[in-house]
Chain A
């Protein structure tokens, strides 16, 4: 039981490039989330999903897109990367709603 896994661990992008952050969970959780964490700023919700085929925006969705074709996978797409997207990105999942979320190890992204 690996829990929540994320790839890659680190990435450096140039301004304007695109990339996809991968997230997979093996706990059969319906709910999945993407957060970004900036120093001293806590966790900000980017997008979330309540099940396969259903996604919705969080508080900071601009510049990102998501899809949820399976229960296990919840990739986050960055289009036209900007320096403001430099952050640590965490994927999380939970069984019931917004409680007891389990986090992945994070992806550290730098946009130069």
Chain B
């Protein structure tokens, strides 16, 4: 079993739809959970960061962590064409950071 599993997609949605992304992980030592957004030919940028189970909201973005199920999610409400990017989950703990393969999202106007 891979340490971090993320279905690479791609995912196409109409503008205004809710985008739902998720990752699973196998290492119980992971304590920090992040979502990065990467536009084409750019470096990843931190979008959401959390270190506990539960929900965290930031504008149209909600990150959800369920440590008991080793499952994290990212929801994007009222999606916009500018949200078209690749989204990578990342898990940290024990001085390690493991990334998912990334999920390409396309929001169609």
The number of chain A residues with a CB under 8 A from chain B is 19
**In the complex, what's the smallest C-beta–C-beta distance from B30 to chain A, in angstroms?**
10
* Those of B40-65 within 8 Å (CB) of chain A: 41-46, 49, 51
B99 within 8 A of A: yes
Q: Would you call A105 and B8 a contact (CB within 8 A)?
A: no
Is chain B's interface secondary structure helix, strand, loop, or mixed overall?
strand
Q: Kindly state the separation between the CA atoms of A45 and B97 in the bound complex, as whole angstroms.
A: 9
- Please pick, from B41, B46, B95, B102, the residue contacting A101 in the complex, using a CB distance under 8 A: B46
Q: Would you call A99 and B43 a contact (CB within 8 A)?
A: no
Q: Would you call A97 and B92 a contact (CB within 8 A)?
A: yes
Q: Kindly state the separation between the CA atoms of A48 and B32 in the bound complex, as whole angstroms.
A: 19
Measured between beta carbons, the chain A residues less than 8 angstroms from B96 are 98
The number of chain B residues with a CB under 8 A from chain A is 24
Q: Which residue of A lies closest to B33 (CB)?
A: A99
A106 within 8 A of B: yes
Q: Would you call A98 and B45 a contact (CB within 8 A)?
A: no
Q: Would you call B88 and A99 a contact (CB within 8 A)?
A: no
Q: Kindly state the separation between the CA atoms of A10 and B43 in the bound complex, as whole angstroms.
A: 14
Q: Would you call B42 and A106 a contact (CB within 8 A)?
A: yes
Measured between beta carbons, the chain B residues less than 8 angstroms from A41 are 101
**In the complex, what's the smallest C-beta–C-beta distance from A104 to chain B, in angstroms?**
5
Q: Which residue of B lies closest to A4 (CB)?
A: B43
Top 10 nearest A-B pairs by Cβ distance? A103-B43, A98-B97, A42-B101, A43-B99, A99-B32, A98-B92, A99-B92, A42-B99, A103-B44, A105-B43
CB within 8 Å of B: which residues of A?
4, 40-43, 45, 90, 92, 97-106, 108
